[in-house]
Amino acid sequence: MSRRRPETPFHDLQHFIAYPRVNGLALSRDGKRLATIVSTLDAKKTRYANAVWELDPAGEAPARRVTRSAKGESGAAFDAEGNLYFVSARPDPDGDGDDPVAALWMVPAAGGEARLVISRPGGIQAVLTGRDGGVFVVAPLMPVAEHADVGQARAPRAA
């Protein structure tokens, strides 16, 4: 006996749980780009996986997925130049293979692959931008730390 699809996701708990979730919105300074984190149920239906999606604020172009990683992403913010920043525990392509911690990543405004901006031993919790377009991160510090340098933040090697 097959189950009939409910009228809306709100008519059946299993459909409601499987429905994608939108978590926050980030608008570029020029108002032409909009990003969000979309959470979807994984194939095992045991956890939600997060990805950054870009939406057209004018509603003319279809939504497109910007990131893909096993660990997922969080937060999204645009800087003054239109670069898109997000937090992810994806592996560093130039790294030593250690278990990755959440780091700050950036997709250039012109497009292309995400690039590691900065990582810290304790990870990065969130990314924010100021009114001037500056990028700020929220990161944990040890109680004995007097300033952020104590965690030996690491920027990627220059190409």
* Domains of the chain, first to last: 9-151 (2.130.10.10)
Distance between CA atoms of residues 146 and 2, nearest Å: 62
Put simply, whether the predicted model's pTM sits higher than 0.85 gets the answer no
Q: Taking residues 108-115, what's their average pLDDT?
A: 92
- pLDDT confidence of residue 140: 84
SS3 109: coil
Distance between CA atoms of residues 63 and 49, nearest Å: 17
The residues near 34 (Cβ < 8 Å, ≥ 6 apart) are 25, 26, 27, 28, 54, 55, 56, 57
DSSP letter at 140? -
Residue 33 banded pLDDT, cuts 50, 70, 90: very high
- pLDDT confidence of residue 147: 62
- pLDDT confidence of residue 152: 47
- pLDDT confidence of residue 155: 52
SS3 124: coil
Residue 9 banded pLDDT, cuts 50, 70, 90: confident
Distance between CA atoms of residues 75 and 25, nearest Å: 9
Residue 94 banded pLDDT, cuts 50, 70, 90: confident
Q: How far is CA 129 from the centre of its chain?
A: 14
- pLDDT confidence of residue 148: 58
The residues near 113 (Cβ < 8 Å, ≥ 6 apart) are 107
- pLDDT confidence of residue 149: 56
C-beta separation of 145 from 93 below 8 A: no
Could you tell me the sign of the dihedral formed by the alpha carbons of 65, 67, 72, 77, in that order? negative
